[in-house]
Amino acid sequence: MDGSRVTSVVRGWRFNPQRRGTAILLVLGVLSIVLGLAYALSRSSTTLSKLSTNELAGLKTDATVEYAPATALIKLAADVNWLPESPIGGLLETGESYQVDLKISREGDGRSLDAIAQSLDRERKYELAERRLSIELAQQALDNHPNSAIAAFATGSNKKAAVYAGSGTIIRGDIRSKGEICFQTGFVLAGATYRMGSIVDQGREAAAYLTYRASWGTSYRAELLKLHYKQTFDSDILLGDVTLGPSVDNPMGVFYHNGDVVIGDNVTITGTIAVDGNVTFLGSDVKLFALQSTTNPETGSIVQSCFPAVVCNKSITFEATADAVRISGLVASRKDVRRFNGTKTRASVYRDELDDRVKRWSRTVPAVDPHDHAIGIDAVPDPFRTTDGPAIYVKGAIMANRVILENEPGMPFALVFDAAKTDTTDAPGFFTWRAVEWTEAD
């Protein structure tokens, strides 16, 4: 084949209009297929992304309306007297807003919580989801119920015994302690000693009794002790020649004071004293009796009750001059329960800045003691009805960081602590709420 013919063939191929059109159509077809596939993939990716976003939003919304009512249970666990100012709301850690309209019944030891939980957008303008729940609640006792004559929660890290009892002291019941237990020769223990483990130490917060909830579900305000003081200065009061008990407005007989309280002569209180400060027993003929039953002012029926006799945020001290003191019920202190012998002075264990004013409160042990403390506890038919027998008699339980009991010389049976069944089922701080049924409401 000569050169002119080759050139002619090549030129014919390159410039043939029919073949050129076919190539363009092929290219366009391939491009359309590629673009179609790309668009389909893009739409699929966008759809999947939207589905994933919507699914995530739905999960967050569901989590919000599930979590929101639990916030009420958390509040109830922190304060068993809590009644909500509905609605409550807030933000989750993920940024989602929630709002819960709550209604809590007042039905004794079984209560119900009705909740309408809403998940809101971040601007809290639009509702994303809503769930109506009915939660049945029941009381759940904490694990520090007093079941011994003495329970001491200090660990002894400062090299002091958590429980110390001097000669002449009688404890009829068990002693439980997180720290060391020491006693002198002549101390009598009719029980056993135990070292506690990781027991929860709660139930001794006086402020929880300022507004308290009775066993039938209604909340009441405690009566202020300062209304009954005999002598006072600053925030400290001295009680004397006074008899207090429950009333229609205060059916559990709770008496509260923010400050120190000194208990002098002739004091009888039926109910609970809750003191956000120290309590010092200085006088004679003192009777503190926790209620065993009370009257529901709403129905007139008799209701069993179980609040402590004394709840104190600081220390409880029995001075050497304290005489014929009778306590029935739980005595709970967030610090120490102490009894000092005659070598101690009240000024040394009270507040130093009150020394001059405390002197006029102080009493001296009389030359002739009118009470016969040599009579053994078993020889006294009813220690609560006589001033003979023990100078200090506590029937119930003592809970404190430390319990230090020193005896007054010459009073061989001066201190007797007698364990008794001490129920605190309804007492603030000794129980919380647990959900027993969680159902969708209509």
One domain for residues 232 and 93: no
pLDDT digits (tens, 9 = 90+) for 39-96: 556 555 555 554 455 555 556 666 666 666 777 777 777 777 777 666 777 776 666 6
One domain for residues 270 and 377: yes
One domain for residues 436 and 403: no
Q: Does residue 365 form part of some domain?
A: yes
pLDDT digits (tens, 9 = 90+) for 285-329: 999 999 988 999 988 999 888 899 999 999 999 988 888 999 999
Residue 365 pLDDT exceeds 50 = no
One domain for residues 274 and 385: yes
Cα torsion 390, 391, 396, 400: sign: negative
One domain for residues 239 and 263: yes
The percentage of residues in the chain with a pLDDT greater than 70, rounded to a whole number, is 67
- Give the pLDDT score at 10: 39
Instruction: Give the Cα separation of 224 and 229 in Å (integer).
Output: 10
One domain for residues 372 and 223: yes
Q: Does residue 361 form part of some domain?
A: yes
350-357 contacts at long range (C-beta below 8 A, 24 or more positions apart): 350/260, 350/278, 350/280, 350/317, 351/236, 351/260, 354/233, 354/236, 357/233
One domain for residues 131 and 181: no
- CB neighbour burial string for 122-142, b if at least 16 within 10 angstroms, e if fewer: eeeeeebbebebbbebebeee
Q: Does residue 410 form part of some domain?
A: yes
One domain for residues 104 and 192: no
Q: Does residue 38 form part of some domain?
A: no
- Give the pLDDT score at 357: 46
Cα torsion 419, 425, 426, 431: sign: positive
Strands 97-104 and 110-120: antiparallel
Q: What total number of domains does the chain contain?
A: 2
One domain for residues 71 and 190: no
Q: pTM higher than 0.85, yes or no?
A: no
Q: Does residue 194 form part of some domain?
A: yes
Contact between residue 115 and residue 137 where contact means Cβ atoms under 8 Å apart: no
- Give the pLDDT score at 358: 47
Residue 255 pLDDT exceeds 90 = yes
One domain for residues 371 and 390: yes
Which stretch of 101-105, 246-250, 274-278 has the lowest confidence by average pLDDT?
Answer: 101-105
Most confident range (mean pLDDT) of 97-111, 113-127, 266-280 is 266-280
Q: Does residue 55 form part of some domain?
A: no
Which range marks the domain in which residue 303 is found?
A: 150-419
Q: Does residue 11 form part of some domain?
A: no
- Give the pLDDT score at 68: 67
Q: Does residue 42 form part of some domain?
A: no
One domain for residues 193 and 77: no
One domain for residues 81 and 227: no
153-166: average pLDDT: 80
